[in-house]
């Protein structure tokens, strides 16, 4: 009815306008084809009422599976989709059905997040994340946690539905995020990176106007991985244009083929009921078509051979009899594992001292404000013997013990060693902590990298500087940067004398990688990245490396910018270090370093 009124109004307006024009042109009517003109006007009105059409997704494949608990109790990082590998220059499209909890618990964050990582399994060696982008939008992107990560720039996030970010309040708009969601991760533009999520009612976009950095250790591998993580929700995955790792899942139900038990305890105290002892186990079940699913112990039938009444090695038997969709299967599958039933530990004793009982730390401008700084205890070489209720004794694997931390404070300190199975039983050991002495090192050449800042990453490296146990070595230089990106500055390499064996590599901008990097605590005072970067072309830098003596190294950095401000950066507790063979070097990435000024 409204459209007819608009058409009538348009026709009347045209007629009146033409009559007016006749009077203004000595009675000659302009040559206007009235029916076509009116038809065009009607079409324009109709077009203005149309809603934008959904993007046409091409090459979509069926991938039907569910993840996240259907009772809406999945916590964050407890359920995951498959991995979808997106090569450089390609686009990943996915269609999911997002189920939001219909109950009153409608906190803004209870939907799902897209995790973007390098081409490594979660938690695997070298795993690194670009960041996470959750479906909700909550006001200022810098203030709230709807997206996070070192490689997600908040200023490029936008959305159409704003949710209340107060965790103490509920927001009925959360329900608007549910239903069919189309997800796009676009790498087709060489000068941009785009992520889109929309269900027709709510939409969120991350439009980064530059190419993402390659976080893979193998620089020839430019793939990224994407996976989804629900929180307080669950997801029915439906379609993808990229086949995931592990293969596609068809809508057809599938029978189980095999399974592998996870988290089976090595030891159980005699007298512990089987159900209590195996509370934390689960099974990875493989179904037809290569599809896998993690099954909790509540869905398994478990027993032991022989029974658990006497100490000794036991065989755990687990049976699973469900299809992928949870129906009774044609042929149940069986898996087994071994564990040991042991007497209760009544005491433990350190019968061989650890290899290192002297620990060292260094305090620079970067760490002087850390009031409760701690160091990790190193049990290498230590032997702990346990005594059991039956009077027997045996050595306890150090991996089955936990250790208190050590304060970075000079003097004698006590470390508490605690058993992690059965009742807690403790022992103590004394260590000595000293403040490290610092001495300067100098590079043999005055410059690393070309003066025009064209040297690519790892294209030029300084001398190697050895750091003996307990000592701190430092070097001062001027950093000249192309200022193109935060990482176009110096980087510090920790490695063995064999230069191919690296412990870690860290940058000036609070980022790093390597075998020992994941364990470290790192932070910096750079502040707003653009302001910090502007002062790094000509910044005076001092890098401190400490051999802490406990298979750990610390890196501290003080940077005096050309803008008159000083920023600091630290990486404390880089582990997997051979304390008897620790060296460091400096490298460049479209920058150059000048020494001995």
Determine the angle formed by the axes of helices 34-49 and 2-24, rounding to 10 degrees: 140
- Tokens representing 327 are 């129906």
CATH of residue 428's domain is: 2.60.40.3630
Closest CA to 398 of 346, 351, 360: 351
State the average pLDDT over residues 175-190. 94
Domain assignment present for 249: no
Has residue 249 got a pLDDT over 80? yes
Are 278 and 295 within one domain? yes
Are 572 and 453 within one domain? yes
- Cα–Cα dist 297/279, whole Å: 7
- Alpha carbon 411 to its chain's center: 38
Are 452 and 577 within one domain? yes
Are 230 and 141 within one domain? yes
Are 79 and 41 within one domain? no
Check: CB of residue 158 under 8 Å from CB of residue 204.
yes
Are 405 and 489 within one domain? no
DSSP type of residue 133: E
Of 435, 458, 488, which marks where a domain is finished? 435
| C-alpha distances in Å from residue 379, one per residue of 468, 494, 514, 584 | 20, 22, 22, 25
Q: Which residues contact 68 (CB under 8 A, 6 or more apart)?
A: 74, 79, 99, 230, 233, 234, 235
Domain assignment present for 56: no
Are 360 and 220 within one domain? no
State the average pLDDT over residues 454-473. 97
Are 322 and 360 within one domain? no
**Considering just the CA atoms, what is the radius of gyration of the chain in Å?**
32
Are 478 and 552 within one domain? yes
Check: CB of residue 340 under 8 Å from CB of residue 268.
yes
Are 327 and 214 within one domain? no
State the average pLDDT over residues 32-53. 44
Domain assignment present for 55: no
pLDDT digits (tens, 9 = 90+) for 195-246: 999 999 899 999 999 999 999 999 999 999 999 999 999 999 999 999 999 9
State the average pLDDT over residues 394-423. 92
* Residue 297 structural domain: 256-342
pLDDT value at residue 22:
38
Domain assignment present for 247: no
> Which segment of 83-92, 248-257, 295-304 scores lowest on mean pLDDT?
248-257
Are 575 and 464 within one domain? yes
Looking at the structure of the chain, the number of domains it has is 5
Confidence bin at 71 (pLDDT 50/70/90): confident
Domain assignment present for 33: yes
- The residue behind tokens 């990875």 is 284
Domain assignment present for 245: no
Check: CB of residue 489 under 8 Å from CB of residue 589.
yes
State the average pLDDT over residues 52-69. 79
Better pLDDT: 20 or 77: 77
Has residue 40 got a pLDDT over 70? no
Beta strand residue intervals within 168-202, DSSP E:
179-186, 193-198
Confidence bin at 49 (pLDDT 50/70/90): very low
Per cent of the chain over pLDDT 90 is 70
- Alpha carbon 114 to its chain's center: 10
pLDDT value at residue 167:
60
pLDDT digits (tens, 9 = 90+) for 525-570: 999 999 999 999 999 999 999 999 999 999 999 999 999 999 999 9
- Tokens representing 337 are 């594992």
Q: In a 3-state reduction of DSSP, which class is residue 67?
A: strand
Domain assignment present for 248: no
Domain assignment present for 246: no
Confidence bin at 28 (pLDDT 50/70/90): very low
CATH of residue 507's domain is: 2.60.120
pLDDT value at residue 86:
98
Of 190, 211, 240, which marks where a domain is finished? 240
Among 198-207, 397-406, 461-470, top mean pLDDT goes to 461-470
State the average pLDDT over residues 86-98. 96
Confidence bin at 7 (pLDDT 50/70/90): very low
Confidence bin at 102 (pLDDT 50/70/90): confident
Q: In a 3-state reduction of DSSP, which class is residue 229?
A: strand
Closest CA to 107 of 159, 160, 168, 178: 168
Are 446 and 563 within one domain? yes
Has residue 158 got a pLDDT over 70? yes
Of 294, 313, 342, which marks where a domain is finished? 342
Average pLDDT, the chain: 88
pLDDT value at residue 574:
97
Confidence bin at 140 (pLDDT 50/70/90): low
């Amino acid at each position: 009815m409204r459209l007819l009124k608009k058409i009538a109004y348009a026709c009347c307006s045209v007629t009146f306008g033409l009559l007016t024009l006749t009077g203004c042109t000595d009675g000659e009517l302009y040559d206007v084809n009235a029916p076509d003109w009116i038809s065009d006007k009607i079409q324009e009105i109709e077009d203005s009422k149309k809603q934008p059409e959904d993007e046409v997704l091409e090459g979509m494949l069926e991938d039907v599976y569910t993840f996240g608990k259907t009772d809406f109790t999945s916590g964050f990082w407890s359920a995951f989709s498959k991995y979808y590998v997106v090569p450089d220059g390609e686009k990943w499209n996915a269609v999911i059905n997002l189920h939001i909890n219909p109950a009153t618990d409608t906190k803004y964050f209870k939907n799902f997040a897209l995790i973007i990582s390098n081409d490594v399994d979660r938690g695997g060696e070298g795993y690194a994340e670009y960041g996470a982008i959750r479906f909700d939008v909550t006001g200022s992107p810098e203030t709230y946690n709807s997206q996070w990560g070192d490689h997600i720039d908040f200023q490029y996030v936008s959305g159409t539905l704003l949710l209340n970010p107060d965790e103490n309040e509920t927001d009925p708009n959360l329900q608007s995020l549910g239903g069919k969601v189309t997800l796009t991760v676009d790498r087709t533009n060489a000068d941009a990176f785009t992520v889109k999520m929309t269900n027709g009612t709510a939409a969120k976009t991350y439009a980064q106007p530059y190419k993402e950095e390659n976080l893979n250790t193998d620089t020839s591998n430019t793939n990224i991985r994407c996976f989804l993580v629900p929180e307080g929700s669950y997801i029915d995955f439906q379609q993808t244009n990229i086949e995931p790792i592990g293969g596609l899942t068809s809508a057809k139900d599938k029978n189980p083929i095999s399974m592998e038990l996870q988290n089976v305890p090595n030891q159980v105290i005699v007298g512990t009921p089987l159900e209590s002892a195996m509370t934390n186990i689960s099974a990875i079940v493989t179904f037809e078509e290569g599809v896998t699913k993690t099954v909790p112990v509540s869905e398994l039938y478990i027993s032991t051979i022989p029974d658990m009444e006497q100490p000794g090695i036991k065989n755990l038997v687990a049976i699973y009899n469900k299809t992928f969709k949870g129906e009774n299967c044609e042929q149940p599958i069986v898996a087994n594992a071994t564990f040991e039933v042991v007497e209760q530990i009544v005491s433990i004793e350190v019968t061989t001292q650890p290899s290192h009982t002297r620990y060292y730390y260094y305090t620079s401008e970067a760490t002087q404000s850390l009031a409760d700084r701690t160091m990790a205890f190193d049990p290498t070489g230590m032997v702990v013997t346990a005594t059991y209720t039956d009077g027997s004794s045996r050595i306890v694997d150090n991996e089955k013990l936990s250790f208190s931390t050590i304060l970075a404070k000079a003097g004698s300190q006590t470390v508490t060693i605690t058993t992690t199975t059965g009742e807690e039983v403790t022992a103590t050991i004394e260590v000595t902590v000293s403040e490290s002495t610092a001495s300067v090192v100098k590079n043999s050449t005055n410059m690393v990298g070309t003066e025009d800042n064209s040297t690519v990453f790892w294209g030029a490296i300084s001398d190697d500087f050895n750091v003996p146990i307990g000592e701190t070595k430092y070097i001062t230089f001027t950093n000249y940067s192309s200022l193109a990106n935060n990482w176009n500055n110096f980087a510090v390499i920790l490695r063995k004398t064999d230069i191919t064996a690296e412990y870690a590599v860290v940058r000036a901008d609070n980022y790093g990688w390597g075998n020992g990097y994941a364990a470290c605590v790192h932070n910096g005072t750079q502040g707003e990245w653009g302001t910090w970067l502007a002062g790094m072309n000509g910044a005076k830098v001092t890098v401190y490396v400490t051999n802490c003596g406990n298979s750990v190294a610390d890196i501290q950095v003080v940077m005096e910018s050309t803008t008159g401000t000083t920023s600091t950066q630290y990486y404390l507790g880089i582990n997997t270090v051979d304390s008897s063979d620790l060296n460091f070097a400096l490298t460049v990435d479209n920058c150059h370093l000048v020494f001995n000024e």
